Structure 1
Amino acid sequence: MTITEPIIATEALVLHELHGPLVWETLHIYDLQPNEIVVDIQATGICHTDLMFMDGEIPSRQPGVFGHEGAGIVRQTGENVTHIRIGDKVLLSFDFCERCDNCVARHPAYCDAWRLLNSSGHREDGTSALRTVTGEGVWSNFFGQSCFSRVAVVGARCAIPVPAETDLTMLAPLGCGIQTGAGAVLNVLKTQPGQSVAVFGTGAVGLAAVMAARIAGAEPIIAVDVQESRLQMAAELGATHTINAKKQEVVLAIQALTGGKSVQLAVECSGVPAVVSDMLASLCARGRAVSVGMTSVADNVQINLFAHLMGGKEYIGCVEGDVYPPEFVPWLADQYSRGKFPVDKLIKVYKVRDYEQAFADVHDGKVIKAVLDWTE
């Protein structure tokens, strides 16, 4: 690509070294490809996955722009984009190819081109959508969006149009963490009314799982965490019972709550290997469990293979709730509008100028879901 003059200048939060601070600086956008759109970002959720990439637990390069729970208003569209118009409000999710077997089967989280489109740091052709003021490429295209930026170049498949009255600040996180927890309960476990469910870890993903279990009619819904404030929120959002893992032996407590039967279904949202072992030990015969908590590439889990075999238990890995975002995200937004999925209770909004405080609060566990407001 020949570098001429930028078509757009944007302010972005740029990481220059692992574990380093985010730096507020100007970046340039030089071109828009046929299957891309330009979005004026209104809000961005901060996800644990962002932190894992920024800390090097999952590989990335620097300088880089992260952020993958974006929402905004479409400024420009590429010549091949037909489902989105300039001025549309959009929620952003992950990118996928639409062509491979998993995409055709409506499981785009397992797209053959997942890494290339979401975590390679560049477009399909190897170019960078964002460049420094001196024209050097920046690691970007994160989940097809890199929305820790006032203006984002977005793969059009990531963008989901929503009604003009949509509150983007409250719904920005739907496209990753929130759909992950809800999708695990509804799409992967396929929870039915009256089934027992345990949710291990009640951050944003786990609380989304609790809300989805309530929508599905699960009974009981048992929330497990080590923070009383999170457990109180879980109870408010639909958990029928809570267990503080610091104060109770989790497996025994779940057995007591289920008359000795243990649970039929379980979701692990912490990414902590020891929690996975407790979850599997808490399953009844023929119980099913799913892990959605993001973990480092080196983590392993110990399980009692004999108990797993003899109990006929299932343990499933899950990315992004195994959802089809163009349909599932609008469904979640509709549930929110009906008062059935009150995701706003999880959110604390920070003006983007206060981004350092927002990231510190996320790191310290002081907030369930931080959202950056870019509208100032």
Structure 2
Amino acid sequence: MRTQVVIIGSGPSGLILGELLHKAGIDAVILDRVNRDYILGRIRAGVLETGTVGLMDEIGCGARMHRKGLIHEGVELSFSGRRCRIDLAGLTSSTVMVYGQTELTRDLMDHRESHGATTIYNAADVTPHDFDGDRPYVTYEKDGTTHRIDCDFIAGCDGYHGPSRAAVEGRGLETHEMVYPFGWLGVLADVPPAHEELIYANHPRGFALCSQRSLTRSRYYVQVPLDDRVEAWSDDAFWDELRRRVPADIAEAVVTGPSIEKSIAPLRSFVAEPLTFGRLFLVGDAGHIVPPTGAKGLNLAASDVHYLFEGLRDFYLDTSRAGIDAYSARALSRIWKAERFSWWMTKLMHRFPEDGDFGQKIQEAELDYLAGSIAAQTALAENYVGLPY
């Protein structure tokens, strides 16, 4: 088989890239090691930046998102018995949309299937080859047979543990990482949200987040030690702890119910440099990971796709390499700004006992300054709705 672009990974970044290429008349095949049902069974983020919403509209895949998604014009911070609402719309003229990643992925899969584009699921042992030269190819195993796809370019949209990043180890790849000393215990439940907007809570007992996926499905988190275990937390214990950490009126509004999903996610920051290795490009989690505090993971992958698509489009339509040659530098410039914001939000809203009394006082001063400064709130709002591409 031959195609112009092989995309490894059928998460949102791979699917958005595939649809942008299809719209531009560029042929692409998507490979994934698992099947569609497995991918749609994963619980992921649900806050979309303006740019991500725009990409969905650009490929003609935004109709259900606009029907079911929830526009949020602000976000609240809770600390020291105070509430501070960040007026996203008023400060930036932009908003965010709450729409679950699973639903966004479903929309993209359905759209891709509607025009008969090729996605190969259950592709084992996917391996990129010869991407340092002019004739790269990808091999994979399926139904006991080895298959080969020749191509011009390979887009590694396959996550941190995927074969794309593994293929460039030892080829000049540099990595930068910070591991945070806690995780998020998250619960998904079919209960109405406690508040119409997201609430980030800084509390002496630790961080908490009141989030949502729809008007009938909520997602809540509490900060826990890294060595904590999900099995140690009953649903009742989680709801009790959440209510201790959020403002009293929000605690009273929390509707409890059985958890659909419960897990502990470690927090870390990670960046790989560069993102381009010959004709192979790292995209999304293959090249970077952010803590979820700033809602940047999916959105940062979408901006990578935007830059890579522009480069590939110019290569095929204008025979220019300028865009693909600039992909890594353009993407990394925005990645590091998002990493900075996610790190800052994490430091701002979580308790770090190892920082001591001085560190705690600095955090309290920062929150107090934020609550009283329109300039500081504007900076937060600009980053939260998403920096321009």
What is the TM-score with the length of structure 2 in the denominator? 0.26
Report which of the two has the higher share of helix. 2
What is the TM-score with the length of structure 1 in the denominator? 0.27
Relative contact order, higher structure (CA 8 A, sep 6+): 2
